[in-house]
Amino acid sequence: MMRRLFPVFFLLLLAGCAREQKEAEFIPLKLEWYAYEGAAFVENETPLSPDSAAERANPCMVSLMRELLQNPEIQKSAPEFDFKVQYYVYKSAQDTLLRFLGKNNLPASVSWNKTPILPGETNANTCFWTAECTSKGKINHLKFKADFKIISESRSASEK
């Protein structure tokens, strides 16, 4: 019995040893940051001055980057990411928040400081997300394919 099983064990051992260790994979992640200075385009949100956004942005950028790096959507999606990231400060009922809007495959020719980044039509090659950063620098609600309400479809369409 043992004699018959020995070649099997031997082959299993060889197969185990021969199995190549999987190399870690890496995703190139490029983020271009824009402090949004344009008019309000989300319902119930009034962007504050760009100066207050700049003050708040630094710790939030680091936190957001950490969240993005670990996010399963990023992890499972395209092999390369090139996000334009817009940020602005607005007041909510509870806190003064820093909102991030990110989207890939956007043209570089547009002035993303003035033009809002909107979800638009998404397909397999586009990725849109939003996130909020609290006054304590914590990222909340990192959402892909966000469903926030735009003030006016026509306005957003025209700006787009």
Partner 1 sequence: MFIFQKIAFFFRINFLIFILLSLTIAVILLNKYSLNTTFTISPATYPYIVAESDSVDGGNSTIDLIKTDSSVIIDYELKEGIPYPYVNLQIFLGDGRTIGKDFSVYDSIYLWIKPRGEGSVRFYLRGWDPAFSRKDDPSSLKFNELEYFPLEENYPAVFVPEEFRVSGWWVAQKGINAHKARMDISNVPLIEIQTGTGAALGYGTLEIFKISFRGKIIPKETLYASLVAVWFIAFLLILVFRIFDYSRERKINRRKREELEKNLQALKIEKDSFEKSSKEDPLTGCLNRAGFSSILTREQFRLNYNGTPLSFIILDIDHFKDINDQYGHDIGDTALIELAKLLQSRIRSTDSLVRWGGEEFVVLCGDTPLQNAQFLAEKLRQAIERAALIPQQKITCSFGVAEMFPGEDTKAFFNRADKALYTSKQNGRNCVTASARKKE
Q: Shortest approach of partner 1 to residue 37 CB, angstroms?
A: 16
Q: Shortest approach of partner 1 to residue 34 CB, angstroms?
A: 12
Residues 6+ apart with CB under 8 A from 50: 35, 36, 37, 88
* Among the listed residues 65, 69, 136, 140, the one whose alpha carbon sits nearest the alpha carbon of residue 99: 140
> Which residue number, 46 or 113, has a Cβ lying nearer to partner 1?
113
Q: Which of 43, 80, 95, 153 binds partner 1 (CB under 8 A)?
A: 80
Q: Shortest approach of partner 1 to residue 33 CB, angstroms?
A: 7
User: β-strands 128-133, 139-144: how paired?
Assistant: antiparallel
The site that binds partner 1 (CB under 8 A) totals a number of residues, namely: 25
Residue pair 131/85 in contact (Cβ under 8 Å)? The answer is: no
Please give the Cα distance from 65 to 67 (Å, whole number): 5
Asked if 108 interacts with partner 1 (CB under 8 A), we say yes
Q: Shortest approach of partner 1 to residue 80 CB, angstroms?
A: 7
Sites for partner 1 among residues 16-75 (CB under 8 A): 22, 24-33, 58, 61-63, 65-66, 68-70, 74-75
> Which residue number, 30 or 114, has a Cβ lying nearer to partner 1?
30
User: β-strands 96-104, 139-144: how paired?
Assistant: unpaired
Residues 6+ apart with CB under 8 A from 56: 89, 96, 98, 133, 135
Q: In the complex, which residues of this chain contact partner 1 (CB under 8 A)?
A: 22, 24-33, 58, 61-63, 65-66, 68-70, 74-75, 80, 82, 108
